[in-house]
Amino acid sequence: MANTPRTEPAAAAPPGPSAEPLPDFAAVDVGSLAARTDHAVLGEVAALLLRNWPKGDEAVAYYEDGPGNWLR
Q: What is the pLDDT of residues 39-65, one digit of tens each?
A: 989 999 998 988 888 777 776 666 666
**Interatomic CA distance for residues 40 and 51, integer angstroms:** 17
Each residue's pLDDT tens digit, 21-36: 888 888 888 889 888 8
Residue 6 has pLDDT above 80, yes or no: no
Name the residue among 52, 31, 26 with its Cα closest to residue 43: 31
Amino acid identity, residue 45?
A: V
Residue 37 has pLDDT above 80, yes or no: yes
On whether the CB atoms of residues 37 and 43 are closer than 8 A, the answer is: yes
Q: Give the pLDDT score at 41.
A: 92
**Interatomic CA distance for residues 72 and 67, integer angstroms:** 10
